[in-house]
Amino acid sequence: MKYSQLFTKTSKTAPADEVAKNAQLLIRAGFVYKEMAGVYAYLPLGLRVLENIKQIVREEMNAINSSELIMTALQRKEVWEKTTRWSDDVVDVWFKTRLKDDTELGLGWSHEEPIVEMLKQYIHSYRDLPVSLYQFQTKMRNELRAKSGIMRGREFVMKDMYSFHATKEDLDNYYQSVIDAYNRVFERLGLGEDTVVTFASGGAFTKFSHEFQTICEAGEDVVYINHDKSVAINEEVVDEAVAELGINREDLQPVKTAEVGNIFNFGTQKTDEMDLYYSDSDGNQQSLYIGSYGIGITRLMGVIAEKMSDDKGLVWPDAVAPFRVSLIRIGESEAVVEKADTMYQRLTDQGITVIYDDRAERPGAKFADAELMGIPHRVTISERLLDGDRYEYTHRASGQTDILTAEELLDRLSQ
Ligand code: ATP
Ligand code: MG
């Protein structure tokens, strides 16, 4: 893509009411637009990051045989009344609305009840099981506080997945394969080292649910971990869990974290509440075992922005960067333009994503924009290095600069 095509402009300042670092940087760099507190639009650069994160999640969910769908954002009251969760006393984040004829509707904050209801139409016998389905959905939640930028939205993208099984063993095995898949996701996003699986509250069947918590100063949670991070416990269940697991409280240190994922083993609780059954090979009616698994897609983008940034701006890891390379042309002579155009074509032909700064701007402004946007690799073409096969390469994260031949450059960028 050519920079001149970008409609967004970088800015030295963020809106005065925006206190979160992730949103300040993302707004200044032209990745997101703030509509109101907790509600953000994803602009072309931001959308590319979001899609990269989604694609990694998609590949890992497909690899554990889950199928993608999209459910509805408008939801029926009757479905949620089958459990206790239509009530605003039970769920305090509902946005509700009405049809012209006054029928009450909900705007989806979760899709657990609706998917159980939907599957009544499709699951009848043990031959129909197991089933695993997932979606990327914009969830609506009337959050009390929205001060963490895109890490806590009133409208945000979640990947939610639901699995349905004939037996407890089958669900337990699948649940473990989801933990493994989630770990691969966080690894690929560059968060593997800093993300722990914690014991958290909310488990219906097993006593605890599991959360994936990423160590992050801007996070809203506190997790107690031991030094090698092999045990991690959420603050609200720490006493209970310490007793249950027989660990010394003194061996656990509190750290600030952001919840990036949460998985639940519901056992047969939801099934029983909502009358979803299957018939076994003898024709007897049996309860279904259900798991529910979420990942905060937009929150992850915020966490990466928080953790991978410096005084110059964002520092995206290659896997999620909107473009891997920023190709900066300095000078307007025919020779410079031709050399830069040719390199743009070569990189693009190799499947490397490039933003080509073709503007007639000062070099300093071009460098500053590429740094603010966090493009991982920079290639500069200028009059100075025109003679011979030489390109200036700079690595955003380390700041290291090398003069490379075209061959060496392509080699480095295809790693
Ligand atoms: P929190 O405790 O942070 O409010 P939650 O436990 O209510 O989150 P879940 O219902 O478990 O959230 O949702 C699954 C995932 O969606 C969370 O692990 C988190 O990553 C993400 N998420 C939840 N609420 C928000 C939000 N308001 N904005 C952005 N992401 C969110
Ligand atoms: Mg949660």
DSSP string across 236-271 = GGHHHHHHHHT--GGG-EEEEEEEEEEEEEEETHHH
In the chain, % of residues over pLDDT 70: 99
Examine the pLDDT at 202 and tell me if it is beyond 80: no
Strand boundaries in 151-220, DSSP class E: 155-165, 195-200, 209-215
Mean pLDDT for 130-142 is 98
> pLDDT value at position 138?
98
Q: Which residue, chain included where needed, has tokens 């402004």?
A: 365
Q: Which of 4, 36, 2 is nearest to 17 (CA)?
A: 36
Residue with the bigger pLDDT between 336 and 227: it is 336
Q: How many residues does the chain have?
A: 415
- pLDDT bin (cut points 50, 70, 90) of residue 204 is low
Residue 373's pLDDT is 98
Give me the DSSP letters along 11-34.
-S---TT---HHHHHHHHTTSEEE
Which one is the CATH code of 3-310: 3.90.1170.50, 3.40.718.10, 3.40.50.720, 3.30.930.10? 3.30.930.10
How many Å lie between the centroid of ligand 1 and the Cα of residue 102? 30
How far apart are the CA of 351 and the centre of ligand 1, in A?
A: 35
Ligand 1 and 262: CB distance under 6 A: yes
What pLDDT band is residue 206 in, cutting at 50, 70 and 90? low
Asked if residue 396 has its Cβ within 6 Å of ligand 1, the reply is: no
pLDDT of residue 200: 87
- Taking a 5 Å cut-off on Cβ, the residues next to ion ligand 2 are 262
Cβ pair 192, 183 in contact under 8 A = yes
Pocket flag, ligand 1, residue 114 (CB < 6 Å): no
Please report, to the nearest 10 degrees, the dihedral formed by the alpha carbons of residues 332, 337, 340, 342 taken in order.
Answer: 180
Residue 229 is predicted with a pLDDT of 77
Are 112 and 270 in contact by the 8 Å Cβ rule? The answer is yes
Lowest mean pLDDT among 58-67, 81-90, 379-388: 379-388
Q: Which CATH class is domain 325-414?
A: alpha beta
- Bridge partners of 67, per DSSP, are 133
**CATH 3.30.930.10 domain range(s) in the chain:** 3-310
What are the tokens at 140? 């609506």
Grade residue 203 by pLDDT with cuts at 50, 70 and 90.
low
Does 312 have pLDDT greater than 60? yes
* Beta-carbon count within 10 A of 214 CB: 26
Q: 259 CA distance to ligand 2 centroid (A)? A: 7
Confidence of residue 378 (pLDDT cuts 50, 70, 90): very high
> Closest ligand 1 atom to the C-alpha of 302?
29
Q: Where exactly does CATH 3.40.50.800 map onto the chain?
A: 325-414
Q: Which ligand is nearest to the CA of 109?
A: 1
CA 57 to chain centre: 8
Which pLDDT does position 241 carry in this prediction? 84
Burial 160-175 (b: 16+ CB within 10 A, else e): bbbbbbbeeeebbebb
- Output the CA 2–ligand 1 centroid distance in Å: 36
